Amino acid sequence: MEYHNPVLLHPTVDGLNIKPDGIYVDVTFGGGGHSKEILRRLGPNGKLFAFDQDEDALANALPDERFTLINENFRFIKRFLRFHGVRGVDGILADLGVSSHQFDVPERGFSTRFDADLDMRMSQKNDLSAYRVVNEYEEQDLRRVFFDYGELKNAPALARTIVEARRDYPIKTTDELKEVLKKYLPEKVRNKVLAQIYQAIRIEVNQEMDVLKEFIEQSLEILNPGGRFSVISYHSLEDRLVKRFIKNGMFEGEPERDFYGNFSVPFKTIGKLIVPDDAEIKINNRARSAKLRIAEKI
């Protein structure tokens, strides 16, 4: 089975405006689709560093001396690039979220299609798992996870039901979780609600929102002036953070105005929001929610 079919391949790499001798980073290597395209456009002196926290992605490492794959979380991008002697880069690409491979391997627990242990860790080194979130979180924390990350209006009822069920026995598998929550999963909305519940737990397990914020802030520090930032997100929570930071240089609120009433912002937005066309969605259904934003460091 194919590891991952890259989404918005050309517009995302075009967004980096690659200089043949530049240094680039692909923080979500996965099956290496975007990385291969970056290498194709780089000259012999260019360099590409890639990150993936999933050990499975290491098998896709590209045999190219301009390429280095780092099996770490991109929340540590600055630290690991520094370890490799890199302080400034010309472009950073992020294709956020989960790879098709992670969805397609039943034991990883990411897909609503299979029964599996409650796992959902993107990195095998992660201590927090879906099992721990479901069985150990206080009710109010479960409520927050479902509300904030799943945008589920009935978050309080879902949290209460889980807490009551696990008093008798731990909830070990995804099928057991579905059984516990079955009264909130009527046939008509079952797939949609399940997707929201899984998304919420997955974001919590992998601390995706905090990680994204840390990564974006560090990206700004390590991009050279004129360096490009090309980011694909797959749900509105991620996209909102990316959009606000590009526009305002902060995640909340508005930047201060200078004496003349102008904002001082660190990025210039390049082009409009890009989404896949119908042809791409037809051959790759996972592209359907993708949103690409491109910015240049001022």
Ligand X SMILES: C[S@@+](CC[C@H](N)C(=O)[O-])C[C@H]1O[C@@H](n2cnc3c(N)ncnc32)[C@H](O)[C@@H]1O
Q: Which amino acid is it at 4?
A: H
The dihedral formed by the CA atoms of 76, 9, 197 and 241, expressed in degrees to the nearest 10: 50
Let me know: does 102 contact 108? Beta carbons within 8 Å.
yes
Return the number of the residue (33 or 150) whose C-beta is nearest ligand X: 33
> What's phi and psi for 208, nearest 5 deg?
-65, -35
State the nearest-atom distance from the C-beta of 209 to ligand X, in Å: 11
Which tokens belong to 88? 């400034």
> What's phi and psi for 215, nearest 5 deg?
-65, -45
Q: Which H, E and C letters describe 150-212, residue by residue?
A: HCCCCHHHHHHHHHHHCCCCCCCEHHHHHHHCHHHCCCCCHHHHHHHHHHHHHHHHCCHHHHH
Tell me the binding residues: 32-34, 52, 74, 95, 102
Return the number of the residue (15 or 33) whose C-beta is nearest ligand X: 33
Alpha-carbon distance of 201 to 146, in angstroms, equals: 7
Return the number of the residue (6 or 276) whose C-beta is nearest ligand X: 6
Return the number of the residue (116 or 211) whose C-beta is nearest ligand X: 211
State the nearest-atom distance from the C-beta of 56 to ligand X, in Å: 8
Return the number of the residue (172 or 213) whose C-beta is nearest ligand X: 213
Alpha-carbon distance of 41 to 46, in angstroms, equals: 9
Q: How far is CA 164 from the centre of its chain?
A: 32
State the nearest-atom distance from the C-beta of 58 to ligand X, in Å: 10
Return the number of the residue (66 or 160) whose C-beta is nearest ligand X: 66
Tell me the binding residues for S-adenosyl-L-methionine: 32-34, 52, 74, 95, 102
State the nearest-atom distance from the C-beta of 129 to ligand X, in Å: 15
State the nearest-atom distance from the C-beta of 282 to ligand X, in Å: 19
Which tokens belong to 113? 């299609």
Which tokens belong to 94? 């992020």
State the nearest-atom distance from the C-beta of 85 to ligand X, in Å: 20
Footprint of ligand X on this chain (CB under 6 A)? Answer: 4, 6, 28, 30-34, 51-54, 57, 73-75, 95, 97, 99, 122, 211
